[in-house]
Every structure is written in C-alpha cells, then in structure tokens.
Amino acid sequence: MAYYFPEPSRTFNEYLLVPGYSSENCIPSNVSLRTPAVKFKAGEKPALSMNVPVVSASMQAVSDDGMAVALARNGGISFIYCSQSVESQAAMVARAKAYKAGFVVSDSNVRPDMTLADVLALKEKTGHSTVPVTEDGLSNGKLLGIVTSRDYRVSRMATDTPVSAFMTPLEKLVYAPKNTTLKEANDIIWDHKLNALPIVDDDGRLLYLVFRKDYDSHKENPNELLDEHKRYVVGAGINTRDYATRVPALVEAGVDILCIDSSEGYSAWQKMTLDFIRKTYGDSVKCGAGNVVDAEGFRFLAEAGADFVKVGIGGGSICITREQKGIGRGQATAVIDVCRARDEYFKETGIYVPVCSDGGIVHDHHMTLALAMGADFIMMGRYFARFDESPTNRVIINGSYMKEYWGEGSSRARNWQRYDLGGKEGLSFEEGVDSYVPYAGSLKENMDLSLYKIRSTMCNCGALTLEELRDKAKLTLVSATSIVEGGAHDVALKDNTATSAQLK
C-alpha cells in the first residue's frame, strides 16, 4: 500500500505571518538580506554568499548574460540557461564575467542602408532609443554614426527613409578610445553634455557605449555582488547528460556557481553529475542540485555533495508537471519539510546546506513567507521574465505590453535534458507551456520595491536578519474566507485607468 502523508500539501497563499514585537531598531534600512549560497561548516563562513536572497531561473526566457549582469548588480545571482550549445552558454558566461561596469555592449544596431522603419521596429522590440549605426549592423562593427529619437520625426518622415540620411555621422560625434576609464568617460559625458559616449578601438570598431544614466545607477547599487577580481558573480545551469563537456567549458569561462537544472532531483543521474564534479574539481567548483520536495530527497542530495538543494516540483506558473504526471507537492509544505531536514542534517553533521525555494511565488509577500519557512534564497522565473533585462521580445497583446515567457518543458524550449530519466533522447510530452507575462519595466525598480516589502515584513516580525526571521517567525494557516477578507472587499473600487492615462 502506498505511503500517505498525514497532512495536505499547501501553497504559500494558505499562510500568513503573525507579527511579533518590533523594537525601535526594527526599521527596513537596518535589515540585512545577506544569505549563504553554498554549504559551509559550523563556525566557518560560506565560500559564496549573496547580498539579497534572490536568483533567476535557468530558463531561455529569463537568464542570459544580460540578466546575469543586471541581477548581480542588484545583489543576486542569475543561472544562465543550459538548453543551448555548450559553446553558446560558455560565451554568455564569459561575456557576463568580462562585463565592465558602466561599459555596455550595444544590442541595438543598424546598418546605414536600413530604414527608419527598421529603427522603429528595433526600438519597439528592445525599448532602446540610442541605436549605433555600424558598417555591418553588428555590435562590434565599424562605427559610422548614431541614431537617437532626436534625429527623426515619424510624423514628418517616410518610414522608408534610409538611416544614412538622418543619422548623426561619426564626424559629428564625440567618442573615446578603448583605453578610456569609466571616470574619464563620465567626465567626457558631463563636459560635452552627452547622453551616450561610444568607445571605439584603434580600427574604429564599436566596443561599448557609456550612458549618462548609468552613472547614477552605479552609485545606486550598493548591493553589487562581485568576485575577488571585482567582476560580477555569474551562475549557470547544467544537465545530467553532457556535464562532462559542459562543466569544464563553463569553469574555463569563469562561472562562479553551477546548478543542475532538472525537474526531479532525487535520482542516480544527479549523483553521477555531482560525483564527476567532485572527482574532477574537488570542492573548488560549487554546484547546487534538485529539485526535491521532501526530507528524503534533501538528504540524498546533501550526502551526494550538493552545495545547495533546490525545492519545488510543479509549482512554477508555466509548469504543468503535476497536471501531466501527477507528481509534486504544494510549495509551502515542501519548503517546510525540506528546511526541517536541513536543520536536522546540520545538527548531525555540522554542515549547513542552503535551501533554494523554486516556484510557487505569485505575490511579493510569498517571498517573505518562503524565507520565514526556512528557505535561504528564492529562485524565480516569471518574476524576472517581465523585465527589460530578460532576453524575450516585448509585444503588444490586446493593447497592453507583454513579454514572452515559456517553460523549459514546452515544445518551444524542447529542453528534454531537464526531464531526462535516462531513456531515449527527446521530449516525449510537454511539461511546460508557452505564454505571455505583463511587461513590468526595469529590474532594479521592481526588485527594490519587492525587497523593501520583505524588509518591512521582517521588521513586523522583529527580525533584522534572515536567520532571525526563521527563529522568530510565527505562521498561521488561513481559511478560504480569510483569504477573501485579506483583499479589498465590500467596497466599490474606483477605476483609475482613465486618470492614469491622462496623467501620462
């Protein structure tokens, strides 16, 4: 007879935090969100920690080198997706590690023979209004000029007007040589009242753009997550099929931390992958594993050598694993069970293995609940897919801006390795969907708000660190009726849509 868990599995939405005593020191600015990213022994410091407890999912629609830089700049880690060739993923890692803060590689470029229509289409896709004109239309092509919104008037120009007719040509541009420092670049920008400064090499090829707006942005990111060489910390996903070639390439590219990207982690394949890493690199290469949903799965991966364990099966917004296969567990129950096992393992062995909660986050307060339930950090996909920094297209659906978002188990991603059970190669059936999420703007603005909410709630619980939150948190189950009570109810809400549109 099958084993039956005595309690139903529950989601984050079924819990609330009960406030505790808040001292005069409990203000959001005093709260630290620093958290360990990898295992460590009692009395020692972890080899890698994060300044905020947030990582982005290893998904095509979420985590490329652009997201890796943006998230590290804000204190977290992005796991660059592995459902691509080894060479392509390693190149993304290398670009993110080589990224010079303030120096931006242009991803919006045109040729001089292209048209205003092409510029407008590019702006619609990327949101960027500064478009370098290069000889071949590539990001490192010979710079011929720049197009900004000041160079054209859509109402007065034909859309088939060639770029060469309205661009600001190179001879009228202020630009700087390749050895220019960031301070020198910013001085040039301020002296010449520029919005952007191109950096070119000795052959006139475009290397970077330095933007006026990034000067303030750099000063506004005190949580930047950097390695010992002042480079951004970058993560990458791996699978249990080609790890023998993928891991060395990623290590060579400079990756800081790996994570086995799998829908179900309680398997011999994960142990084989971890065994390879430990045999080849010892403990110098950090690698998390998962996903699991109970104490037994956690213990297996901890003993197999995982640097952190990822929790969650079927809770992602684009995941249909539970629907298709009938496996999984409510995310809140899974996190509670696994974190209890982590604490028991720590008492027994003196080794603390961080837990990452992956999936089930719908509202910002769910992040705080996951952390209060014991998670050391949270992995999210949908949350990050909404931002400018995600690699997907921004499109208009029914009059609203949306971003494309698809699961790794969808036919679009065809990431069969993530769902590999050791059989034939290929995706037998889908475990993810292809969808859209509402466009939300920049990562920093949204993350700052989400993290402020976490800090504020922690203060309500009398906690100034995540460790304190886990010790002091008081959780209560809520009924269906009290969930309704928790939102706006029994009132007629004003429709502010028209007013907001007029203000804009």
Alpha helix positions (H), 373-442: 382-385
Q: Catalytic: 329?
A: no
Q: Between 331-349 and 295-304, two packed helices, what is the crossing angle to 10 degrees?
A: 50
Q: Report the alpha-carbon distance of residue 87 to residue 10 in Å, rounded.
A: 41
User: Which residue is it, tokens 């505790």?
Assistant: 20
What is the enclosing helix (H) or strand (E) of 272? helix 268-281
CA distance 458 to 7: 28
E-strand ranges in 342-420 read: 351-352, 355-358, 377-380, 394-397, 400-406
3-state secondary structure of 367: helix
Q: What are phi and psi of 192, to 5 degrees?
A: -100, 5
Candidates 299, 382, 418, 455; catalytic one? 418
Active site residue 319: yes
**Directed axis angle between helix 243-253 and helix 86-98, to 10°?**
20
- Reduced to 3 states (helix: H, G, I; strand: E, B; else coil), residue 336 is helix
Q: Are 42 and 352 in contact (CB under 8 A)?
A: yes
121, exposed or middle or buried, with CB in 10 Å at 0-12, 13-18, 19+?
middle
Q: How far is residue 439's CA from residue 133's CA, in Å, rounded to a whole number?
A: 28
- Alpha-carbon distance 340 to 349, whole Å? 14
Q: Measured in Å, how far apart are the chain's first and last C-alpha atoms?
A: 63
- The enclosing H or E element of 270 equals helix 268-281
> Where do runs of H (alpha helix) occur along 61-211?
65-73, 86-98, 116-126, 163-166, 182-191
Q: Are 48 and 37 in contact (CB under 8 A)?
A: yes
- Residue 350's SS3 state is coil
Of 478, 479, 467, the residue nearest 339 (C-alpha): 467
Query: Within 282-381, where are the H helices?
Result: 295-304, 321-325, 331-349, 364-372
Q: Which of 319, 339, 459, 461 is catalytic?
A: 319
CB 258 within 8 A of CB 293: no
Residues known to be catalytic = 319, 418
